[in-house]
């Protein structure tokens, strides 16, 4: 069975600091990967996705993620965070084309 693991439960950092959230998956076939974000009081929304091609994926709000097949990883990065990036971040892998399998989530708190 596929599983997704996120390395950090809670990350606290200051504005302008760089952010990297780890995500590892276990799956042997073709992989599609997503990062979702849930801002306080808002819906889960898609941040970025990888299907194929360039392993470095750009998403909304300055986020990017790199798919490293040899490491089974899809880490999320942002060079300089803002207070508004405070949110919970979820890595996800679709199973059987539609079931999203989520990691446990990482809460990011950005201090002004």
Partner 1 sequence: EAGVTQFPSHSVIEKGQTVTLRCDPISGHDNLYWYRRVMGKEIKFLLHFVKESKQDESGMPNNRFLAERTGGTYSTLKVQPAELEDSGVYFCASNRGSGKRYEQYFGPGTRLTVT
Which residues would be at the binding site for partner 1 (CB under 8 A)?
A: 4, 32, 36, 42-46, 49, 51, 90, 94, 96-105
State in angstroms the smallest separation of the CB of 41 from partner 1: 8
First to last CA, the chain: 41
Q: Which is nearer to partner 1, 78 or 90 (CB)?
A: 90
**Antiparallel, parallel or unpaired: β 33-38 and 87-95:** antiparallel
Residue among 38 and 86 whose Cβ is closer to partner 1: 38
Handedness of CA 91, 96, 97, 100 (dihedral sign): negative
Three-state secondary structure string covering 87-102: EEEEEEEEECCCEEEE
Q: Minimum CB separation from partner 1 for residue 91, in Å?
A: 10
Q: Which is nearer to partner 1, 72 or 102 (CB)?
A: 102
């Amino acid at each position: 069975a596929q599983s997704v693991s996120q390395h950090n439960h809670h990350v606290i950092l200051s504005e302008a600091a760089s952010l990297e959230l780890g995500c590892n998956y276990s799956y042997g076939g073709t992989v599609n990967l997503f990062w979702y974000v849930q801002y306080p009081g808002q819906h889960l929304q898609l941040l970025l996705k990888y299907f194929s091609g360039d392993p470095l994926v750009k998403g909304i709000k300055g986020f990017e993620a790199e798919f490293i097949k040899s490491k089974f990883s899809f880490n999320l990065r942002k060079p300089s965070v803002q207070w508004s990036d405070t949110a919970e971040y979820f890595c996800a892998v679709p199973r059987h084309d539609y079931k999203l399998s989520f990691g446990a989530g990482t809460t990011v708190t950005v201090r002004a």
